[in-house]
Structure 1
Amino acid sequence: MDRRGFLITTGASLAGTALAWSSATASAASNPYPRIGSEAITSLSTRLAHLSRLDDVWGSGKLRDLAAAELRLLTGLITDTTHTTEVEQGLYGLAAEAARLCGWLSYDSGHHAAAQRYYLTALRASATAGDTLVGANTMAFMAIQLYSRGNPQDAVALVETAQRSIRGRATPKTIAILHARQARALSKLGDQSRCATALNAAFDAITKGCDHEPSWCYWINTTELHMLAGSCALDLGDARRAVHHFTTAKDSFDIATYPAGAVIYLARAAEAHLALGDPDAAADLCLQAVRCHDSIDSARADRTLAALRARLARHRTPVVREFLDQIPPSSA
């Protein structure tokens, strides 16, 4: 006989199933907030890490709305779900990192007031989570805004607060990040001695291995430190040392993986060559930066290349003219 023609559950068994369903739905109705567990933290952390890495490839313009949506999702999960205290702390920690990313993307897009608001949100969320490392990293990014657009001395004070807050709990990469930001701020102040001390501490820290680095530390390595050291030397008026660091970094920098960062550092290397009186070398580096720039959307990169165009416009060698043709005045 074809048993597929018969019902499998009937009678008392069927009634029991219906009763169980009725009880379950009544229970759900009495508790409108869904419950999430620790596995959600792992999934959400992975999403956020992937989003952060997209900035390396696309730039901030394409990602600001996406990062803001991620922050809204995390905020909603905090307020509209039930969870353990441990899961809640994890959600606050992720919200802090999402707000930090929103701050960075806003800064890179030229929205400086919004960037500061996001950074302050990140600090509050990290304090609630008890995650001092996320908070310290947020202060490192706030320092970039301060030494670039505000008062470098405020940036130094902020980094020193971050360093004190994570003493005894910091990983090698977080130590390197904070020393590097300290060095950049000090270079803006013209403090060559303290800048060199901070850079040496950053290079020392990055050589120490650790199996438990936060995912947001992925970008810091010796190559990046050489690029930051080059920027410091440029600010301190030592163009020759800047070229040395930028050349060392370029030999190992993965431009295809990090085109957004490449635009900035190639442009700074070009500035160093221009300071040494070599406009052709500067223009050649600018041409490489333009090729990277074609794939990203970053107001900061736009401004950087426009400023270099203005400085190179007074030189009329063939290589310089080729670069000037790539970046017409209307886009500068």
Structure 2
Amino acid sequence: MADERRRQFGAYLARLRRDAHKSQRQLAALLCAVSGTQSLTRNEVSRWERGERIPEAWLPFIAEVLGVPVGELERAAAHARGESDGPPFGAAMILSELIPPRDPLAPLATRAGRRIGSDDVANLAARVHGFRLADDVLAGGDLMAPVFRELIAAMRLYRESTHTEAVGSALLAQIGELAQIAGWIASDAGRHEKAEHVYRIGIEAARQAGNGPLVANLAGSLAYQLSNTGQERVGLDLARAALAEAGLDAPSKTRALFFDRVAWAHARAGEAQPAMQALGQAHDALSKADEDAPQWAYWVSAEELEVMDARVFTELHRPLRAVPLLTDVLSRYDATHAREVALYRSWLAVALADANEPEQAAEEARRVVSASADMASDRTASRARVVLQRLRDFEEVPEVRDVLHDHGHVLSA
């Protein structure tokens, strides 16, 4: 653990240096100049960035040269030394782990492409939102190929075209938004490594565009995937880092989303009280929703927060709170969103089983398995297995026995 913390600190320090457009040699020279000593070399900076050493005495000078609050550096160093049991000091240290070592968005040295303007960005934005709306009604396996073709084309457009700085920044933001929906679609299709890779690209694009809430949305999306694929602690740290990255000035609707992801990450980690607190903070944020929310947050609503409430209650084995919420939401949820309906029914089935209502749980389970069989969605397939596994505790109940007889093969899929 100590080695891992030092490695994280080193990656964070390297990221700060690159953001300041300094080489290791240049950083060493600047540190010598401000400290009045000639004892520091590029090799020592390299050792810091590899996590071999923590630059204890140099922290104030590093802060001065790189324009970082010294307190932030000191908190990061304390975490690296193992003196802090909480998450790393903030977003940058965790997010530094997510940035590709080679920037796939770097413009070509010579741009031979056409000059583009705001209309081109607007057209891309319309296509990006079209993919979001398509994801509401189609599964990941159906959308993987077209969304990745669009992302590759958008990245090529940025790298090869000429444009003003403002247009370039707007284009980067759209690439970030497209990467987020592409990552979400890949994750739904069960392509988790591909999803993580594209989330990283999106984070870099959003950071270059100076769009903190979008960085947070991408990081939070990856945190959600990590929490659901056996990396609960990393997912929790990243979800909290995403919230910090967004900042207090982020639109209230987006903060509601980020708090919801923190709540889910706590629930997956088995931490009930912090999860409940984050749910309350999500509702508080949404109650202050303003008009500045980005288009990608169009789906965040009181109804969706209720769904997350119920999912957290189910994860924490509190069925008396989960069942009424899920029953109410499902009674009025848009039936065209078939994947979400199946997913929400899967949590209802588990909550009913926890409430010792196996007959009703079996009824919901049958609906979940039937729906998932017709979808190219790894999420629904995985949830179907979770539900059937939970019902095994009630095999003596006829309704449950029938479901397991009819669909037990799903458990070995």
Do the structures match in fold with TM over 0.5? Answer: yes
2:345 aligned with 1:233: no
Which is greater in Rg?
A: 1
Q: Report the Cα distance in structure 1 between the residues aligned to 2:295 and 2:373, rounded to whole angstroms.
A: 28
**What is residue 209 of structure 2 aligned with on the other side?**
129
Residue 328 of structure 1 deviates from its aligned partner by 6.0
* Whole-Å separation in 2 of the counterparts to 1:40 and 1:236: 47
The 8 Å contact of residues 146 and 154 in structure 1, kept in 2 or not, is answered as: yes
**CA 1:89–1:303 in 2, change beyond 3 Å: closer, same or farther?**
same
Amino acid paired to 1:317: P
Q: Could you say if the C-alpha distance between residues 295 and 47 of structure 1 is closer, same or farther in structure 2, counting changes exceeding 3 Å?
A: farther
Q: Structure 2: how far apart are the matches of 1:274 and 1:315? A: 13
Which of 275, 289, 292 in structure 2 is aligned with 1:212?
292
Q: CA–CA distance in 2 between the matches of 1:105 and 1:299?
A: 10
Kept in 2: contact 1:176–1:202 (CA 8 A): yes
- Distance of 1:57 and 1:319 partners within structure 2: 30
Equivalence for 2:28: none
Percent identity reads 27
Residue 188 of structure 1, aligned match among 262, 268, 292: 268
Alignment of 1:317 onto 2:398 = yes
Q: Is the 8 A contact 1:55 1:63 kept in 2?
A: yes
**Gap regions ≥5 residues in structure 1:** 1-30
What's the C-alpha RMSD, in Å, of the aligned pairs? 2.2
Residue correspondence of structure 1 range 1-332 to structure 2 within 5 A: 32-256=112-336, 258-290=337-369, 292-293=371-372, 296-312=375-391, 314-318=395-399, 321=402, 325=406, 327=407, 329=409, 332=413
Matched to 2:227, the amino acid is Y
The 2-side partners of 1:116 and 1:234 are apart by 27
The CA distance in 1 between the partners of 2:295 and 2:370, in whole Å, is: 29
- Paired with 2:300 and 2:362, the residues of 1 have a C-alpha distance of 28
Instruction: Using the TM superposition, give the Cα deviation of residue 171 of structure 1 relative to its aligned residue in structure 2, in angstroms.
Output: 1.0
CA contact (8 A) 2:358 2:397 kept: no
> What letter is aligned with 1:278?
E
Q: Distance in 2 between matches of 1:209 and 1:90?
A: 24
Aligned pair in 2 of structure 1 residues 47, 269: CA closer, same or farther (>3 Å)? same
Work out the number of aligned pairs and report it. Answer: 300
C-alpha separation between the residues in 2 aligned to 1:152 and 1:291? 29
Name the CA distance, whole Å, in 1 between partners of 2:168 and 2:278: 36
Question: Relative to 1, partners in 2 of residues 1:265 and 1:315: Cα closer, same or farther, differing over 3 Å?
Answer: farther
How many Å apart are 1:249 and its aligned residue?
2.2
Return the alpha-carbon distance in structure 1 between the equivalents of residues 401 and 257 of structure 2. 35
- What is the distance in 1 between the residues matched to 2:401 and 2:167? 56
Quickly say closer, same or farther: Cα 1:310–1:197, change in 2 above 3 A. Answer: closer
Q: Distance in 2 between matches of 1:315 and 1:181?
A: 37
Q: CA separation in 1, counterparts of 2:159 and 2:396? A: 59
- Asked if the contact 1:96–1:125 (Cα under 8 Å) also holds between the matched residues in 2, the reply is yes
Q: 1:62 is paired with a residue of what secondary structure?
A: helix
- In the alignment, the residues of structure 2 paired with residue 191 and residue 319 of structure 1 have an alpha-carbon distance, to the nearest angstrom, of 31
Following TM superposition, where does structure 1 have runs of at least 4 consecutive aligned residues deviating by more than 6 angstroms? Answer: none
Residue-by-residue CA offset, 1:82-113 (whole Å, 9 max, x unaligned):
11111111111111122222222222222222
Which residue does the alignment assign to 1:7? none
Residues 141 and 324 of structure 1, relative CA distance in 2, 3 Å threshold: farther
Separation in structure 1 between the aligned mates of residue 325 and residue 400 of structure 2, nearest angstrom: 24
Once residues 144 and 324 of structure 1 are traced to their aligned partners in structure 2, the CA distance between those partners, rounded to angstroms, is: 33
Shift of 1:69: 0.6
TM-score (norm 1): 0.83
Aligned AA (1:174): T
- SS in structure 1 at match of 2:142: coil
Distance 1:315 1:43, change over 3 A: farther
Shift of 1:202: 0.6
Q: Which amino acid aligns with 2:368?
A: A
TM-score, with normalisation over the residues of structure 2?
Answer: 0.68
Do the aligned residues in 1 keep the contact of 2:254 with 2:297 (CA within 8 Å)? Answer: yes
Taking a change above 3 Å as real, the CA distance of residues 311 and 199 of structure 1, as seen in their structure-2 partners, is closer
Contact 2:239 2:265 in 1 (8 A): no
Structure of greater relative contact order (alpha carbons < 8 Å, 6+ residues apart): 1
Contact (CA 8 Å) 2:212, 2:247: kept in 1 or not? no
